[in-house]
Amino acid sequence: MSEDGLPDDATAAERKMRFLFALRSRGVTDGRVLTAMERVDRGQFVRGLFAERAYEDMPLPIACGQTISQPSVVGLMTQALNVQPRDTVLEVGTGSGYQAAILSLLARRVYTVDRHRRLVKEAGDLFRSMGLVNIVAMTADGSFGLPDQAPFDRILVTAAAEDPPGPLLAQLKIGGIMVLPVGQSDAVQSLIKVTRLTTGYEYEELRPVRFVPLVEGLGNE
Ligand code: SAH
């Protein structure tokens, strides 16, 4: 039994329904994305003081002074990325690992990188315990992408750069899509969708967002 006197499984089901309702009401309507988000328990990716708020539609603090993004923003970014079952995806900014876990249910393989060794280790342990065997988590400065694994069908950046990093544009397949926040770290940023065409790149501005900055080099944790 939980504090409110309801059996734990009833509150869990109700919590999940509210979580999915919030996603839908904020524009996450793609069935595959909703199913993936229903299957990945955000509660596993938030630790300590904030764990009880894991099912609310808000960003929360994680280790290394970083944040796990707001679920509706995760949903909208995943939806814009339009991941296909055979895709190889690169995520820059592993953070808690939540976004990578969702991508792993939609793609063939997910590479996720973070500049903080500790976040990569903790996320990697979670992926293993959840049986998400198609995610490769690595410590790296993601602004250079992963040249050895490139090109990618999809690239998702979850930290804001002033402009789309050149190496990431270069590592996108023709026909591929990259979704990323761009803008100054202390101002409102724009979520951008970049599609690589045979002749160049097409840019579409999706919505205002706020992300932690994409920082050069590796972190000290
Ligand atoms: N996608 C994450 C949230 C990411 S927060 C989740 O689902 O929880 C942004 C992350 O980007 C932080 O963990 C930060 O360490 C990382 N980051 C910032 N600059 C980076 C860089 N140059 N290379 C790789 N990771 C970077």
Q: pLDDT tens-digit profile of 9-38?
A: 668 889 899 999 999 999 999 999 999 999
Domains of the chain from N-terminus onward: 8-209 (3.40.50.150)
* Catalytic center residues: 69
The confidence score (pLDDT) of residue 185 equals 72
How sure is the predictor about 5, in pLDDT bands with cuts at 50, 70 and 90?
Answer: low
- Ligand 1 neighbour 143 (Cβ under 6 A): yes
Distance (Å, rounded) from C-alpha 48 to C-alpha 76?
27
φ, ψ of residue 136 in degrees (nearest 5): -110, 115
Q: pLDDT tens-digit profile of 155-170?
A: 999 999 999 999 999 9
- Ligand 1 neighbour 153 (Cβ under 6 A): no
Q: pLDDT tens-digit profile of 105-158?
A: 999 999 999 999 999 999 999 999 999 999 999 999 999 999 999 999 999 999
CA of 69 from ligand 1 middle (Å) equals: 10
Distance (Å, rounded) from C-alpha 50 to C-alpha 38?
20
How sure is the predictor about 87, in pLDDT bands with cuts at 50, 70 and 90?
Answer: very high
